[in-house]
Amino acid sequence: MADFATVEDLRGRLLGRDLTADEEAKAPQYLADASAIMRGRFPSLDTNTPETAVGVCCAMVLRVFQNPDGKRIESIDDYSYTIDSARSAGELYLSDAEAAQLRPAPRTAFSITPGAPAVCDGP
């Protein structure tokens, strides 16, 4: 199975700098791991891939590249820092917001969407 994103997709989403040589070497494996995490959570992604899959896959990897030390909080006076809990759980993860982007839209015969315009098929 192909990964949801390529190293080129990742480069296109990295703002303000290029991938380092170390990131360039690690990117294919991180993209493969991110794709596996996405498939594990949403097995139907291979048959019904949403347009957001590339962006979500890249966001997962960029989160690791942009914060390699996993810092969540850092102070200056009497220096201290806190490691992000996701870092201790393996760094690469699918956030709730990203999962929501991958979740298929409900396909039911009847649905109610508050605030949606009225639809009338008859006279």
Global pTM exceeds 0.85: no
Residue 47 belongs to some domain of the structure: yes
Residue 61 belongs to some domain of the structure: yes
* DSSP labels, 32-66: HHHHHHHHHH-GGGGTS--TTHHHHHHHHHHHHHH
> Per-residue pLDDT averaged across 44-69, rounded?
87
Residue 77 belongs to some domain of the structure: yes
Instruction: Pick the more confident residue, 115 or 122.
Output: 115
Range of the domain at 17: 7-102
Which residues, at least 6 apart from 98, have a Cβ–Cβ distance to it below 8 Å?
Answer: 56, 59, 60
**pLDDT at residue 82 tops 70:** no
pLDDT at 46: 86
Label residue 61 by pLDDT band (50, 70, 90).
very high
Identify the helix (H) or strand (E) that includes residue 27. helix 21-41
The secondary structure of residue 68, as a DSSP letter, is T
Residue 21 belongs to some domain of the structure: yes
Residue 121 belongs to some domain of the structure: no
Label residue 73 by pLDDT band (50, 70, 90).
low
* Paired strand residues for 75: 80
Residue 108 belongs to some domain of the structure: no
Label residue 90 by pLDDT band (50, 70, 90).
very low
**pLDDT at residue 89 tops 50:** no
Residue 19 belongs to some domain of the structure: yes
**How many distinct structural domains can be found in the chain?**
1
> Per-residue pLDDT averaged across 75-85, rounded?
64
Cα separation of 4 and 17, whole Å?
23
Cα separation of 56 and 63, whole Å?
11
Residue 81 belongs to some domain of the structure: yes
